[in-house]
Amino acid sequence: MPHTDPPPSGQPDPERAERIHAQLTAPGAPFAVVRGERGTLEYADGPRTLREFVETTWAFGETPFLIAGESRYSYGEFFAAASALAVRLNERYGLRPGDRAVVAMRNLPEWQIAFWAAQLAGLIAVPLNAWWTEDEFTYALDDCEPGVLLVDGERMNRVAGWARRAGARVVVFQGEGQLPDGVSIERYEDFPAPDPLAAPPDVEPRPEDDATILYTAGTTGRPRGAVATHLAQAGAALDARYRAAASALERGGIPGMGAAPVIPVTLPFSRLAAFADFYGAMAAGGTLVLTEAEAEADSGTGTKGAGDTEGAEGMAYSIDATPVTELRIVAPSGSGDPLPDGATGELWLRGQPLLRGYWRDPDATAETFSGGWFRTGDLAVRREGRVTVVGRVQAADRPQAADRPQAADRPLGGGPGHGRPCRAEVAGPKQPGRVTGG
């Protein structure tokens, strides 16, 4: 792909950004966009499932993927370890596509092995907040009913009671000392060394199959499990590739020709915004660096720590938009018809990276999704092609929206509305590489 000259003095150039967007998304281009069967925008090419996405990383071979102190995994070592664990989950534990696999641990390299083993085995990965108390873990475990728990030693005692009652299998990573009695537990460190030439299980998830359940707390009430399909998560992974390509062109470079990114991990892997980091690294053969301080930062306990929600009441959130997300602003209690510029209304989103609904909660799903549009519960206003989030829908306008989780429901992988509190505005129509209006 030809490079483009950077703008003088590094100043933003909307017209140039529009040309880059058109270059990347035109028919036949690497990020061509089509209208899918559901009526939403989708990438025309690229992986359609997370298994397809992670299988592409095998080609990076000896390139470092995970670094945590003295511990290092190359892409080849990571893929072999994830494949071996996936085979064990299928063959020894008897888990089948659609079964749930909980991942509950701090930011260890093994978190990535466990998460991707679940994807290679065709399971639904359920990353849980490492800060949670035993009662909070119990609530989520009762809700998703996993067939296996992939946890670190620090989380073991908080989930052991549930595993004992449910008869669930447990794999403990970096677990030292005496393990709880009456629980079917295996230590990951006791497993045979992975065969670098062994293949993952012969399982092929469909794009419409569920890939993840992400629990997040609302402004009140219990956490709810927001479900993403493989197609949605693959869209988030492709969003990361798109952003990297657009950024390279904006700098005057050639996509894929620069140095692979080295990304310091600053968020717990279980948080939605962290998916953008590891998808971005994996899409480009980059490296995730875990420091001791960062790994310990998410290992405390309690409900108010990082990872519960990523939004904040009354604060604007950034939108790092991509070609496969649309937005519209509508009256909070109206029919869904778009409001004119300058009018404040509820922000609705639609696109490939959107979550499909709530786990085993059809009423909440029906309330939140309307004709393929996700009703965010955020109030926003559009002026001169730009959209700014200004607050939340009040209970008097729509009671259910006032209790809506403010992070996990939004597009995946750091896409529109990923919920990092900031003062950024949201781009609207005619902003290249941004969200398109509806």
DSSP state of 205: -
Question: Per-residue confidence at 3, pLDDT binned at 50, 70, 90?
Answer: low
pLDDT at 410: 55
CA distance 302 to 304: 6
Non-local (6+) Cβ contacts of 162 within 8 A are 137, 138, 141, 142, 168
Selection from 75, 83, 92 nearest residue 201 by Cα? 83
CA distance 373 to 354: 9
Q: What is the DSSP string of 252-280?
A: T--TT-SPPPEEE--S-TTSTTHHHHHHH
Burial class (CB in 10 A: 0-12, 13-18, 19+), 182: exposed
pLDDT at 16: 83
**Nearest-10 crossing angle of helices 134-144, 153-166:** 50
- 8 A C-beta contact, residue 405 and residue 309: yes
243-277 confidence digits (pLDDT tens): 989 988 988 888 888 888 999 998 899 998 899 89
pLDDT at 304: 33
Lowest mean pLDDT among 87-91, 385-389, 410-414: 410-414
43-98 confidence digits (pLDDT tens): 999 999 999 999 999 999 999 999 999 899 999 999 999 999 999 999 999 999 99
Given a cut of 50, whether residue 182 has pLDDT beyond it is yes
Given a cut of 50, whether residue 383 has pLDDT beyond it is yes
CA distance 420 to 150: 28
